[in-house]
Amino acid sequence: MKLNLNRPLAFFDLETTGVNVGVDRIVEIAILKAMPDGSELIKTLRINPEMPIPLQSSLIHGIYDEHVANEPTFKMAAQEVADFIGDADLAGYNSNRFDIPVLLEEFLRAGVDFDMGDRKFVDVQNIFHQMEQRTLKAAYKFYCDKDIINAHSAEADITATYHVLLAQIEKYKDVDFEDKQGNISKPVINDVDALHTFTNMNKPVDFAGRMVFNDNNEEIFNFGKHKGKTVEQVFDLEPSYYAWMKQGDFPLYTKKKLSEIWERWNKKKEQLKLEKQQQQKQQQEQQPGTQPKPAASPAKTPVPNFKQQNPVKKEKPAVAVTNDMLEQLKMKFGK
Largest distance between two CA atoms of the chain: 169
DSSP letters of 225-240? Answer: TTTTSBHHHHHHH-TH
Kindly give the parts of the chain with pLDDT less than 70: 133, 288-335
Cβ proximity of 165 and 5 under 8 Å: no
- pTM of the entire predicted model: 0.69
pLDDT the model gives residue 317: 58
Identify the helix (H) or strand (E) that includes residue 110. helix 100-110
Cβ proximity of 228 and 220 under 8 Å: yes
Q: CA-to-CA distance for 68 and 45, rounded, in angstroms?
A: 10
pLDDT the model gives residue 283: 85
pLDDT in tens, 106-117: 999 999 999 998
pLDDT the model gives residue 143: 93
Q: Is 50 left (phi over 0), alpha (psi -120 to 50) or beta?
A: left
Buried-exposed string 142-168: b where 16+ CB fall within 10 A, e elsewhere? bbeeeebeeebbbbbbbbbbbbbbbbb
pLDDT in tens, 246-294: 999 999 999 999 999 999 999 999 999 999 999 888 888 887 655 555 5
Domain ranges of the chain: 9-128, 136-198, 202-281
Cβ proximity of 17 and 53 under 8 Å: yes
Q: Where are the beta strands (DSSP E) in 186-242?
A: 211-213, 219-221
In DSSP terms, 122 is beta-bridged to 91
36-37-39 Cα angle (round to 5): 100
pLDDT the model gives residue 294: 56
pLDDT the model gives residue 204: 86
pLDDT the model gives residue 236: 95
C-alpha distances out from residue 163 to 142, 201, 253, Å: 12, 23, 30
Instruction: Give the amino acid at 228.
Output: G
Per-residue HEC secondary structure of 17-85 comes to: CCCCCCCCCEEEEEEEEECCCCCEEEEEEECECCCCCCHHHHHHHCCCHHHHCCCCEHHHHHHHHHHHH
Fold entry, domain 9-128: Nucleotidyltransferase; domain 5 (3.30.420)
